[in-house]
Amino acid sequence: MQTSKGVNKIYQLFDEQYVLDLFNKEVLPLYPGFKKIQNINISPIKKNIWTTTYHVVIEFMTSFLSADGEVIELPIYCSAHSDEPRKSSFAALSFLWQQGFSH
């Protein structure tokens, strides 16, 4: 999805086809036990979007297809803010993942 001047680029993350293509390219290689991402349902948790700035939290309920044909649904969350880095959010989520809060 191309964005034009005056349209906030964050809207791309609410386009299911854009996110599906992006996840198959960028996320799927991180999950070698799966061969494809079949579907993504997008649920905004926080959706504050203005002309040039944004603060969003999005749940992507992601349907992965395993090598044996089983569909496994996993939630993937996005926290994005146009005016501040997300390093602290990433660190917190990484810590939770490492402590076993991944299922």
Each residue's pLDDT, cut to its tens digit, for the chain (103 residues) gives 444 455 688 999 999 999 999 999 999 999 899 999 999 999 999 999 998 889 999 999 999 999 999 999 999 999 888 876 667 767 777 787 787 776 5
Is residue 4 included in any domain, yes or no? no
Is residue 1 included in any domain, yes or no? no
Query: d(Cα 67, Cα 71) in Å, to the nearest integer?
Result: 10
Is residue 53 included in any domain, yes or no? yes
Distances (CA, A) of 7 to 11, 50, 67: 8, 9, 39
Is residue 3 included in any domain, yes or no? no
Residue 69: domain span: 9-98
Is residue 2 included in any domain, yes or no? no
Domain tally for the chain?
1
Query: d(Cα 29, Cα 93) in Å, to the nearest integer?
Result: 20
The answer to pTM > 0.85 is no
SS3 call for 94 = helix
